[in-house]
Amino acid sequence: MAEIDFDDFLKVDIRVGRVARAEPYPEARKPAIKMWIDFGGEIGEKRTSAQVTVHYDPETLIGRQVMAVVNFPPRQIGKFMSEVLVLGVPDKDGAIVLLSPDQDVPVGGRMH
């Protein structure tokens, strides 16, 4: 495991957002869902796609709070421009489970 300085960690801007819209992304190489996530006034709404189809359907994601890195440069994922990186961890079979606060918190809040 590579070590980083605390100052390097502080450069990663991880915020909580609420999924405002979600839809299947059948054009993706691997099954994925496109999401539009509201991070509040300062950041606004950002788009992403995530390979989370094992545990989530687009309908179940709407309204859900998620954690995402908001200061990576945009990345082209097929025909879709991903603006943030939603965070998750693999379950015992390798399927991604999204990270989210265990209580409802204001959108846009930065992880400390």
What are the domain boundaries of the chain? 12-98
Residues 62/41, Cβ–Cβ less than 8 Å: no
pLDDT at 2 over 90: no
pLDDT attached to residue 1: 85
pLDDT in tens, 8-63: 999 999 999 999 999 999 888 899 999 999 999 999 999 999 999 999 999 999 99
Residue showing tokens 């309908």? 59
CATH number at 12-98: 2.40.50.140
The C-alpha atoms of residue 19 and residue 93 are separated, in whole angstroms, by 25
Give this prediction's pTM. 0.94
Contact call for residues 27 and 78 (beta carbons, < 8 A):
yes
Q: Which amino acid is at 107?
A: V
Q: Note the pLDDT of residue 78.
A: 85
Distance CA 32, CA 18 (A): 18
In 3-state terms, what secondary structure has residue 2? coil
Distance CA 73, CA 47 (A): 12
What's the whole-number average pLDDT of the chain? 96
9 sits in which H/E element:
helix 6-11
Confidence (pLDDT) at 40: 97
107 Cα distance to chain centroid: 13
